[in-house]
Amino acid sequence: MSDKELLKSKPEFEELVDVDSDKGRFLILHNDEHHTFDYVIETLIDVCEMDSIQAEQCTFLVHYKGKCDVKKGRYNFLKPYREALIDKGLEATID
């Protein structure tokens, strides 16, 4: 059997995706033009449990790029972090 015949005879499979295992979601912090660098840094340290260097780098990324992913995980894991950031007046989404 030739290679072309083998390819034609192979069954096609759909990729199965488990919707409950959405480990690839990101908590995104967006630039809002209202809060100071210090406030955002302190909030990231407090809410997202970042160290000061990581929080500072993320804050600069948000300022210059418009957004930065601050955490990765399942939706239910990220939701409390998002709500806490919003409660502190920051703009955050889960993508």
Instruction: Please determine, for residue 67, whether its predicted confidence score (pLDDT) is greater than 80.
Output: yes
The amino acid at 80? P
Identify the bridge partners of residue 28 per DSSP, sorted by sequence position: 69, 93
Phi, psi torsion values for 33, nearest 5 degrees = 65, 10
Question: Tens digit of pLDDT for each residue in 3-59?
Answer: 555 444 444 433 333 345 556 899 999 999 899 999 999 999 999 999 999 999 999
Domain spans of the chain, in order of start: 22-94
Question: Tens digit of pLDDT for each residue in 46-59?
Answer: 999 999 999 999 99
Structure tokens belonging to residue 40: 């955002």
Contacts of 24 (CB under 8 A, 6+ apart): 72
Instruction: Please determine, for residue 90, whether its predicted confidence score (pLDDT) is greater than 80.
Output: yes
pLDDT confidence of residue 13: 39
User: What distance in Å separates the CA atoms of residue 19 and residue 44, rounded to the nearest whole number?
Assistant: 29
pLDDT confidence of residue 11: 44
22-94: CATH class: alpha beta
